[in-house]
Amino acid sequence: MKLRKITSLLCALAMTATLLTSGAFTVSADASDGSVVVTMPTTSEPESGFDPSYGWGAGEHVHEPLIQSTLVRTNKELGIENDLATEYSCSEDGLTWTVKIRDDVKFTDGEPLTAEDVAFTYNTCRDNSSVNDFTMLKEAVAVDDTTVEFHMNEAYSIWPYTMAIVGIVPEHAYDENYGQNPIGSGRYIMKQWDKGQQVIFEANPDYYGETPKIQKLTVLFMEEDAALAAAMSGTADVAHTAASYSDQEIEGYSLLNVETVDNRGFNLPCTEPEDKDGVTHGNSFTADVNVRRAINLAIDREEMIDHVLNGYGTIAYSVCDKMPWYNEEAVTEYDLDAARKLMDEAGWTEGEDGIREKDGEKAAFTLMFSNGDSVRQALAEDTANQLKELGVEVTTEGVGWDTAYDRAQSDALVWGWGAHSPMELYNIYHTMKDTGSAEYSPYANETVDKYMDEALQSSDLEASYDLWKKAQWDGTTGITQEGDIPWIWLCNIDHLYFVRDGLKVADQKLHPHGHGWSIVNNIDEWEWE
């Protein structure tokens, strides 16, 4: 393993040197002119360009869109504060949101930004978004130049979290090629995009907010080995890395770890097996709630974080740890003895080979991980090793995403989640219409659904948090240890970066899932010392 890592690193160093020599990258890492060079995974490059309608800022890897302004934004506590908006309110029935915006904002082509542009942006996202769900939006209407109304098909209390990631585009300059040459009103202007290699941003001199401290940002799209090589060669000021490289010492750099809600966990199908359109839904072993509870207690997450992540992570108790809507009742301590007792009480007795049995069935299940993801594979293997102590046999298997979604209806799969919105909770646990089950793994609880539905129907965002908490556990039922426990959460993975000495990276808010654009959300606040 160590030899492969060294060989891979040498290849990456050679490749990076070749790219620099050939001029493939236009890099200027110069503190004197306020420039910063940052590496990101190749998956961070937006395939459809820098267009909010196609995921820029609002995709799986949620971030602030840099080029465009948003109506509001999240602060370090993940509360909502104004950006373009000067105020906003919601009607008592939750069906109309009214937003007042600034009157002093211009796009980088000199045209004023008005409520017409806001309405146009949201209606375009409603009609064309290939990433986010806008089905709750009936229509956005510009009442006057500085007032926009959002008329909803249904109440949606967490609408401000959507407003925090949708960048406003200019109606007069928007067409099918917008994502390739975006015009915005945000902190930065996109100056150059060499697809597959890099994108360069420069500070917007007419930005309505505080002048950005960093005047130029160059983003290099690289795999982890190449990013490490870029730091070792002095090419990058900030290079993303993984826990497996965290013990590397690079002269002139230090390791920055950022806490996240980028969690890893696995589903446990909660129903007995049945065939639905040729796909098996349910699992006879994990359908036993005491089995799921025992598994949750039998995993030593601290050991897992130390062993797999070199200590760079935090225990995950839910999909929304540390968020305003997180229910602390989700906390579960490692207790192997209690786990064994649960298995005993449920009738799963230890066989001659150490694996438990019940009515002729082995205490066994398959735990899948996505091919090529070394961290998910290591977490799966560690889970399998730990559950042997419980008398449960876990078979790990690498799979492609082309089959993983269907397979997860009957087998466990290591997933990655984490977003700055309660909708993550909803999308994982809420029963889908016309199916009677949650989307990603067989599970249903009418009471849990009811709390989440009521939370969305609230006209007060902060008041809705208590309902999201009750969906997790209300003292009687929910999705935590004493409830249905349909998912087992393992850890929140720290995002790691090698940072050049002398560069002060501004304090980061919790990063969501995805080791990409979140690091530069506040690039305008960074500075060279």
Q: At what angle do helices 374-388 and 301-309 cross, to 10 degrees?
A: 140
Structure confidence at residue 56 (pLDDT):
87
The DSSP call for residue 220 is E
- At residue 309, the 3 state secondary structure works out as helix
Is the Cα dihedral 425, 431, 437, 443 positive or negative?
positive
- Match 């298995």 to its residue by tokens: 343
CA distance 41 to 47: 13
Taking CA 319 as the corner, what is the angle to CA 315 and CA 322, rounded to the nearest 5 degrees?
65
Q: At what angle do helices 461-472 and 446-457 cross, to 10 degrees?
A: 170
Q: What is the DSSP string of 375-435?
A: HHHHHHHHHHHHHHTTT-EEEEEEE-HHHHHHHTTTSEEEEEE--SSTHHHHHHHSBPTTT
142: β partners? 148
Cβ contacts of 165 within 8 Å, gap of 6 or more? 57, 58, 62, 63, 64, 65, 70
pLDDT along the chain (529 residues), means of 10: 48 49 51 87 91 77 84 91 97 96 98 98 91 91 98 96 94 96 97 97 96 97 96 97 94 97 97 95 98 98 97 97 96 97 97 95 97 95 98 98 97 95 95 93 98 94 95 98 98 98 96 91 96
* Number of CB atoms found within 10 A of residue 203's CB: 18
CA distance 396 to 172: 53
Structure confidence at residue 59 (pLDDT):
55
Q: How many CA atoms lie within 13 A of 215 on its CB side?
A: 9
Structure confidence at residue 331 (pLDDT):
97
Cβ contacts of 279 within 8 Å, gap of 6 or more? 406, 409, 410
Please check whether residue 110 is in contact with residue 208, taking contact to mean a CB–CB distance below 8 angstroms: no
Please check whether residue 430 is in contact with residue 438, taking contact to mean a CB–CB distance below 8 angstroms: yes
Pick from 403, 53, 378, 42: which is nearest to 243 by CA? 378
Structure confidence at residue 412 (pLDDT):
98
How far CA 430 is from CA of 308, 347, 448, in Å, comes to 31, 30, 7
Is the Cα dihedral 64, 70, 76, 77 positive or negative?
negative
Q: Supply the Cα-derived Rg of the chain in whole angstroms.
A: 24
Structure confidence at residue 27 (pLDDT):
54
